[in-house]
Amino acid sequence: MPIIEIRNLSYVYHPNTPYEKKALDDISFTVGKGEFLGIVGSNGSGKSTLIQHFNGLIYPELGSILVSGQDTRDKDFREQLWKKVGLVFQFPEKQLFEATVFDELAYGLKNMGLAAAEIEMRVDEALKSVGLEPEQSRKRSPFSLSGGMMRRVAVASVLAMKPDILVLDEPTAGLDPEGSSHILQAIKKFQQDKGVTVILVSHCIDDLILLADRLAVLDQGKLLAWGLTRDVLAQENLAQYDRLLPDYLKMLFDLKKRGWVINTGLLTVEEACQEIAKILRRDGT
Amino acid sequence: MKKLKLGGYLPGDSLIHRLDPRTKLLGGLAIIITILAVNSWPVFVLNTVLIFLVVYLEKIDFKAVLQGVKWMWMIILLSFTFQCIFVKGTPLVVIGRLIITREGLYLGVLTFLRLLILYLSSTILTMTTSPLKLASGLEALFSPLRYLKVPVNQLAMLISISLRFIPTIIEEAEIITKAQKSRGAPFSSAKKLVRLQTGMAVFIPLIVGSLQRATDLATAMESRCYTGGSNCSRLKKLNFGRTDLMALALIAASCILPLFCFHGRFWQVPR
């Protein structure tokens, strides 16, 4: 049974004005429990609007969204949804405001009404999971940290709430490789250890290809493709959105365009090498 | 941010949109001064006709123009009613102890038109003029103050930058509010103190972000050799054309001429 069910969702900004913009256009798909879904799309494709529907910040006027079977148009349900669905915004370090890292992580937990001992435990656990040493970082001011560390603190502040569904909007944007691998590892571990559903948004398939079980590709508010990662990559129509693709996939699609009979549903460069070698051998003999 | 803010700029290509910002500023000012200073009928009728002509010409849905007036109607109606009832003079209609006088009705209608024209002229100005044009218009109008050693260029830059960043900061405040809501921030708590603390969770990141942005902007401006002097040229020069001249002439005609013709004569309020 799916944990999130999106049915014919549309969303329009500033209706009936010159600024009118259709952000989402008739989108339907589902997310299974414990699944890792990657949402891909370029800027302005509607990714950020879509994910704000998941924790009830925006509710649908056209179409509907069910989260664990309940409709988010129900106001009482929507207002409690933040406990179930943790949402990490783009550039989450912008939301930090407390005096110490500990208070920052404890903010959501206090709002949940947890006991002090439980909060202490969860803060330490969350800090460790993103690769920060609790003893060293607890008492520091979040504003004295580097950009990458601030990002990790912000992600940890949502992880500490232990949501059933974790949604992240471009969590690695603008980070160095070390910073992004800390965050991606923490997310993957969180999903595997706790059986949590994770939805990760990115403008580049590269980040998601090895992490995600399924992909959803958005373009200008429309759902272009949705399914298992390999199936989505194998699809013909993905080629025209090559700005979203990593280099080796661009090459595979290119070869396909030149008449090669080639499978593009491949996840790594090694797989691509093998596929090309296979075809060359077959054609050679 | 689903609804547009009252009086926010709506891009367009109507005659009014294309007028020089100086024309609109001066014209609006002239109409407002006339409306506030004069009490005679023909002036009001002329200005009302004029302002509705402008509303027609700007090609924006009239409903959008009046969108923000819902509370304005309250004020307008209340002042109209009070004028009607409390001004003493020749009785016109008597309902029990309520006496509506001729003078009261006259003043009531005047107040009604006065408020309506005040509202419309300022709204039309901001709805049809982009903030940047408005700032350069203000700079041009205030430029004589240079001789009094007022740094007009810097003030204009200050105004443009503030206007430019209002939407950015509103947007950022919305995003931070949503981010804190996602961590369960109790924005609608019954306790005032809790609500205040929650406000700080938005306010502090907003200030930090604005300071950061201000520093970045200053660096960016300095690296493009901005020194705050008056030697800056503009990408878009203001252009005072024939339509502007005609518009100003029309406004002058409806604002000034009636003063000479009618003021202090038979159209005055009967005393």
In tens, the pLDDT along A15-37 reads: 776 678 889 999 999 999 999 99
pLDDT for position B259 = 65
Alpha helices (H) in chain A, listed in sequence order: 47-54, 75-80, 101-111, 116-129, 134-137, 147-159, 177-194, 205-208, 229-234, 247-257, 269-284
Average pLDDT, integer, range B203-229: 90
Name chain B contacts of A112, Cβ cutoff 8 Å. 184
Distance CA(B56)–CA(B53), nearest Å, equals: 5
Whether B188 and B209 map to the same domain: the answer is yes
- Please return the burial class of B254, using the count of CB atoms within 10 Å of its CB with bins 0-12, 13-18 and 19+: buried
- At residue B230 the predicted structure's pLDDT band, cuts being 50, 70 and 90, is low
- At residue B267 the predicted structure's pLDDT band, cuts being 50, 70 and 90, is very low
Structure tokens at A268: 């790594």
Average pLDDT, integer, range A75-97: 93
What is the per-residue pLDDT across A183-226, written as a single tens digit (0 to 9) for each? Answer: 999 999 999 998 999 999 988 788 888 889 999 999 889 998 89
Residue A160 forms contact with B (CB below 8 Å): no
Residue B129 contacts residue B111 (beta carbons within 8 Å):
no
Whether B42 and B124 map to the same domain: the answer is yes
CB atoms within 10 A of CB B101: 21
Residue A227's H or E segment, with its range, is strand A222-228
Q: Domain range for residue B144?
A: 133-236
In this complex, do A13 and B2 lie within 8 Å of one another by their Cβ atoms? yes
Whether B181 and B267 map to the same domain: the answer is no
Whether B6 and B118 map to the same domain: the answer is yes
Whether B228 and B255 map to the same domain: the answer is no
In this complex, do B4 and A14 lie within 8 Å of one another by their Cβ atoms? yes
- Of A13, A94, A108, nearest to B209 by CB-CB distance is A94
Domain count, chain B: 2
In this complex, do B2 and A158 lie within 8 Å of one another by their Cβ atoms? no
In this complex, do A158 and B183 lie within 8 Å of one another by their Cβ atoms? yes
Whether B179 and B253 map to the same domain: the answer is no
Whether B6 and B91 map to the same domain: the answer is yes
In this complex, do A95 and B205 lie within 8 Å of one another by their Cβ atoms? yes
Q: Reduce the DSSP state of residue A267 to 3 states and report it.
A: coil
- Of B11, B182, B185, nearest to A87 by CB-CB distance is B182
Q: Are strands A85-88 and A165-169 parallel, antiparallel or unpaired?
A: parallel
Whether B254 and B220 map to the same domain: the answer is no
Structure-model confidence comparison of residues B230 and B142, the more confident one: B142
Residue B170 contacts residue B8 (beta carbons within 8 Å):
no
Whether B209 and B224 map to the same domain: the answer is yes
Average pLDDT, integer, range B147-163: 83
Name chain B contacts of A87, Cβ cutoff 8 Å. 179, 182
CA distance B169 to chain A (A): 13
**Whole-model pTM?**
0.76
- Of A97, A108, A112, nearest to B204 by CB-CB distance is A97
Whether B29 and B99 map to the same domain: the answer is yes
Whether B120 and B253 map to the same domain: the answer is yes
CA distance B243 to chain A (A): 25
Q: Residue A165: pLDDT above 60?
A: yes
Average pLDDT, integer, range A58-73: 92
ipTM above 0.90 for this complex = no
Whether B249 and B122 map to the same domain: the answer is yes
Tell which of B14, B175, B183, B210 to mutate to test the A interface (max A CBs under 10 Å): B183
